[in-house]
Each structure stands twice: as structure tokens, then as C-alpha cells.
Structure 1
Amino acid sequence: MRGTQASRLETFVDAAFAFAVTLLVVSFDAMPASVSELHEALRRAPAFLAGFAILAMFWATHHRFSRRTGLSDARVTTLGLLLIAVALLYVYPLRLIMGVGLHFLTFGWAPSPIPIGFAAGEFRSLYVIYGLGFAAMCITMLLLNRHGLARAEALGLDPVERCLLKQEAGAMVWLLIPTVASIVLALLPMPPRTLFQGLPGIVYCTLAVLMPWYGVRSARELARVRAEMDAA
């Protein structure tokens, strides 16, 4: 752990993500004035938790990078500021896509935050905007971890530490694959008012298989590298 003290950039990143989370709260517009309004607000809780989990994933990835490397050079600062800007711009598409997606997954139980015009292609355009934001977050974290690997010699990283940075970068690549596929599908012409319009969202379900598989593969690779270090 080289980054034992939080830098001003890390503090800024933490504050930006904290502010982004406040934009995802269950009842953002006003406090519920009755029990029925409270029930209505709580129906938005699954969308809030899903959006919170995604923001927390990127925040935790940045936190691990900062603790492991302690880098604070110009490239890290630039990418950190880019991460802040994207996170604050991405939070509204994130809130909308989670609300709309869970509205359909729960067969209308979870309220949709906006009316969607299927014939006008609004639903597909929302997937494009969301996908671009998600991809930008992934690419930023990918570049940060790649930069850490490029500075491995200067930092004196051992094989285990290099493996961890490589795996963090690899995770971002696997997250990008369905994201790019979703954007491409959303840009293709689809029959109106059919299930085909949900394909840009359904493709994200592949992450439920891809990421656990990558996690198992990474754990085996890390165990092998540690065994080689112990043997040496």
C-alpha cells in the first residue's frame, strides 16, 4: 500500500462520487408527505441500489489503484479529473436507465422515472447515452491501471502487484465488451414496439456470466503468481 495518505485528488474524487450518490436517492424531489407517498418512494429503491452499486464499483476501483500505487503525476491527475466529470454527467442517464429497466423487469411494479416513446426510438437513444457514459468510466479506469503497469519498475512492483493491476485493467475490458455491443444494437434499426428494442439492455445480462468467470480465472492466475514467488 503505497498511497497511505489520501491526496487532494482522491479527496476530490470521493466528494464527487458522494455528490453523485445524492442524485440517486430514493426520494430526491421532496420528502414523502404521507405513508402512500413513502410506499411510492420505496418502490424506487431497487433502481437506487442498482445505480449505487455501479458507482461504488468505479469508486472502489479508483480507491484500490490509489492505495496500491500512490501515483499523483500529471496523467493520474488528468484521468482522475476526467473520472469526476464523467461520473457527474453519467449519474442522470444511470438513474434513468436503472429506473426504466427495473420498471420492465418488475412488470411495472417499480415506477418508470420517465415516459418512453418506443416509436420515436427514445428508449434506444437512452441506451446509447448510458453506454457512452459507462464506457467512458471503464476506459478511464483502464488507462489508470495501464499507467500503473507502465510505472511498475519505478514503483518497484512485485509480480503479485503487477498481476493485480493487470487484472483490474482486464476487468474493465470485459465490462466494455457488452457495453459496446449494447451501443451498436441500440443504433441498429429495430421493429417498433417489440422485444427487439430491449436487446441493448438484455446484452448487459451477459456480465452475470462473464464477470464471475473472469473472477475465477483471475483468482487462479493470482494464486499461480503467488506460488511462483514463494518458490523463488
Structure 2
Amino acid sequence: MKLTDQTRESTGFVYRGLSPSRLEGFTDAVFAFAITLLVVSLEVPKTYAELKSMMAGFIGFAFCFAMLVLLWFMHQKFFRRYGLHDTITMVLNSALLFILLFYVYPLKFVFTLTAAIFFGPGVLGDLSDVEGPIMPADAGSEMMTIYGLGFAAVFFLFFMLYRHAWALRDVLHLTPVERWLTREELWATGTMATIGLLSVLIAWLPFPAASAWAGFFYFLIGPAMFVIKYVSRSRLVKKFPERELPAA
């Protein structure tokens, strides 16, 4: 078969899962349902006040939507690259979807509160029916623990998926370049999971605003991913100057 741009990444990684499977179809449905759970209200607003209240949650929803799209893209890339549908893959994928559906509510809560800090309390919408504070002053560490454990669990399961693909590297006939890129993903997903766990530890340190610092810790994700990708790709070019593309 002659390879085209649709059957291979620009990196040279051959797609082994070009035809979407029932597993991927089910996963797409779960991602769609998770996005539905993020919607402020499933009912059409009947008054302008209800419309304003619903639109107030747009900023938090936008951040959550972007996060879910990122996770969906990572999932799609894995299954396109390796095309695995064995029992271990199905178990890991099912666990990922289970965590995702649980994680969506802490995700929305944290991003909505974060948006309120930067853009004002108006993004929280109508709180007239809420009794007491939105979150107790001493609950920050617990909130960041729930969020951090969910974050770490999601990326740990991605790490395990790539670890499984690495274990099957000979069965999948991965080329040297593909093996290198698989290790790169192991480093990336493992680092993401580690950041989530470290943020949980920071949230419980005995100093003021520990939960806030736990949140700021996630800003390390960008630099960490840049370093991993930059170092990996630089070494890849040196080791494979001609980018040994997989043969057709």
C-alpha cells in the first residue's frame, strides 16, 4: 500500500489504526457526554436574566472544553498510532473513561473558581439560591486534592496505555523513530501525572495559601512539556538525521 499524508504523521509515525473501531466510537460518545455535563443548563433560558446567568459560566466552560478536547486529541493520537484493541487496552481505556466522567465536575468547579478570581465573581452566575459560602475557607486543600488526584489518574492511565504499546513494540513492528517517539510520550504523560501528584502534596504543606500554590504549580506544565519535546526532538534529529521514515 502506498503511504499518503493520511496514513502517516509528519514525524514518520505510521498510523496502525486508520479505521475507527467500536471502542473508539464508544469513547467519542463518552467524551461528548462529558462535554454535555459541563453545560451550565440543559434547558433553554426562558428569561433574559436566566440567559445572563447561563452565559456567566462561559469562561469556565471554555477552559474545561479546551481540556477535554486536549484529552480527546491525545486519545485519538494513541489509537491512530498503535491501533490496539486487546484486553489490556480495553481495560485501561475503560478506566480512563470512568475517571474522566468523575473528573469533569471537579474540573468545572476549579476552572470556574479560577475564572472568578481573574474576571470577577460575575462568572459564577446567579447564586441567589446558594446558602452559605461557595467553598469553606479551609476546603482549598481538599478541593485541590480531588482535582490533583483526578488529573494525575487521567495522565497515569495515558502513561499506562503508552507503556502497554511499548511492551508490544516488537509485535507492532515499531521502527527506531517510532520507538523514540513512544518513549517521548511516556516521559510526557508520566511528567503530567507527577505534576498532579506533587500539587496534591503542596496543597497540604503547613503554610498559608498552600492550596493556591498547588494551583500555581500547574503552570509548570508548559515549560516541562517544552523541555521534554525540545530535548527529545533535538536528540532524535541527531540520532536519525534522515528521519528513518517507515517503509511502505
Please report the TM-score for the alignment, with normalisation by the length of structure 2: 0.82
Name the amino acid aligned to 2:110. I
Gaps of 5+ in 1: none
Question: In 1, are the aligned partners of 2:184 and 2:229 still within 8 Å (CA)?
Answer: no
Alignment-derived partner of residue 89 in structure 1: 102
Q: Secondary structure at the match of 2:124?
A: coil
What whole-Å deviation, never above 9, does each CA across 1:153-210 have from its counterpart, x for those lacking one?
A: 111111222122222221112212321121012223444xxx4441111111122322
Shift of 1:48: 1.0
Partners of 1:49 and 1:145 lie apart in 2 by: 28
Name the amino acid aligned to 2:47. S
Partners of 2:235 and 2:121 lie apart in 1 by: 43
How does 1:51-200 map onto structure 2 within 5 Å? 51-111=64-124, 115-118=134-137, 121-191=138-208, 195-200=209-214
Question: In 1, are the aligned partners of 2:144 and 2:211 still within 8 Å (CA)?
Answer: no
**How many residues are treated as equivalent by the alignment?**
225
Q: CA RMSD in A?
A: 2.2
Question: In 1, are the aligned partners of 2:41 and 2:54 still within 8 Å (CA)?
Answer: no
Partners of 1:111 and 1:213 lie apart in 2 by: 36
Q: Secondary structure at the match of 2:121?
A: coil
Gaps of 5+ in 2: 1-14, 128-132
Alignment-derived partner of residue 9 in structure 2: none
Greater helix share, structure number: 1
Question: In 2, are the aligned partners of 1:135 and 1:179 still within 8 Å (CA)?
Answer: yes
Instruction: Name the larger-Rg structure.
Output: 2
Shift of 1:127: 0.8
Q: Secondary structure at the match of 1:116?
A: coil
Question: In 1, are the aligned partners of 2:152 and 2:195 still within 8 Å (CA)?
Answer: no
Question: In 2, are the aligned partners of 1:159 and 1:225 still within 8 Å (CA)?
Answer: no
Which structure carries more relative contact order (alpha carbon 8 Å, separation 6+)? Answer: 2
Question: In 1, are the aligned partners of 2:153 and 2:193 still within 8 Å (CA)?
Answer: no
Q: 1:197 to 1:134 in 2, by over 3 A?
A: closer
Please report the TM-score for the alignment, with normalisation by the length of structure 1: 0.87
What whole-Å deviation, never above 9, does each CA across 1:44-79 have from its counterpart, x for those lacking one?
A: 212112111222222211211111111111110110
